[in-house]
A and B are shown apart, each in its own frame.
Chain A
Amino acid sequence: MSRGLLRNLAALGSGLLFGLGLSLAQMTNPDKVLNFLDISGRWDPSLLLVLGGAVVLSALGFRQVLRRKAPLWDSGFHLPHAQAIDRPLLLGSALFGLGWGLSGYCPGPAVASLGVANPEALWVLPGILAGAALQRLMQPRASTDLD
């Protein structure tokens, strides 16, 4: 098999595991997300364990992986090079927080919700795509973290 095909399979498999993880943790349920964000309400700390579990496991694994010269099926790592904590980063994250806190959907769960035919995905996902497209239109040469 060519490395390009292997990479495509790896991306599909990684997305599959990601989607299973989001579903198992019920992160595709916006009530569950909002009940985490609502710390003065009936707080549901589940999201903290989801994020914690994901960060700890990947941090341990990344350390090993990044000691390699290259990933298994590509000639080099494609890591973000931006390091600045600048206005676009903070303003963008604040706008995202506003959207996330209003709806309970961040981009991953919004996409995954298509898989369970959740009608809310048909409103929130086109909104996300249009918002991202609008940002690109307004700042066509904005620096990108990833190639």
Chain B
Amino acid sequence: MLAGAMLARMTAFTPLNALLGGLLIGLASLLLLWLNGRIAGVTGMLTGLQRLPLQGQAWRFLFLLGLVAGSAAYALAGGSTPQRQGFPPLLLVLAGLLTGYGTALANGCTSGHGVCGLARFSLRSLAATATFLLVAIATTFVARHLLGLQP
């Protein structure tokens, strides 16, 4: 193991929080489909707001605002929000560019394809989810264990 792997911070398996958090995410997706007939996909929200005209797009902005407010509320209520230190900003920008380009090209990410797509038994979303999961697992292996990139 290289330095990066040893520096990577351990996190404990938290099954109860993970399951409850997942159920909340599922409930959020269910409500948006039941009430508005919309897929709760964050990529769709972000790319939708980059299209003109902006008329009729308020709901996308409000969903994203809710996303920010939800995590702020959790922190204000005393929830723990550990922050990573010392991660290279340029690597964050590069990863962001790849993520933004890729999710726009694939029309979805972990929420749209991963949660809503799988819940609709979409084979297209299953292919997308399997692809990004496997590539992310391989990338993390190379970055952490071969390159020592993730402090």
- Give A contacts to B, CB under 8 Å: 6-32, 34-35, 37-42, 44-59, 61-62, 65-66, 70-74, 76-80, 82-85, 88-108, 110-116, 118-120, 123-136, 139, 142-146
Q: A13-B66, A37-B137, A38-B8 are in contact. Are A123 and B92 (CB under 8 A)?
A: yes
- B104 at the binding interface (Cβ < 8 Å): yes
- A interface footprint on B118-137 (CB within 8 Å = 1, 0 otherwise): 11111110011101111111
Known interface pairs A46-B15, A53-B25; 19 further A-B residue pairs with C-beta atoms within 8 A, sorted by A's residue number: A11-B66, A25-B25, A37-B136, A46-B11, A52-B22, A54-B23, A57-B27, A58-B26, A61-B30, A85-B127, A90-B128, A95-B105, A99-B102, A102-B94, A108-B109, A115-B69, A127-B100, A132-B101, A145-B108
* Alpha-carbon separation in the docked complex, A22 to B129 (Å): 18
Complex interface: chain B residues within 8 A of A49 (CB):
15, 18-19, 22
- B36→A10 contact, CB < 8 A: yes
- A35→B105 contact, CB < 8 A: no
Q: Which of A53, A58, A93, A102 is close to B95, meaning CB atoms less than 8 Å apart? A: A102
- A93→B102 contact, CB < 8 A: yes
Which of B97, B102, B107 is most buried by chain A, counting CB atoms within 10 A of its CB? B102
* Alpha-carbon separation in the docked complex, A9 to B42 (Å): 17
- B3 at the binding interface (Cβ < 8 Å): no
B125 nearest CB across to chain A (Å)? 8
Complex interface: chain B residues within 8 A of A97 (CB):
102, 131-136, 138-139
* Alpha-carbon separation in the docked complex, A103 to B99 (Å): 10
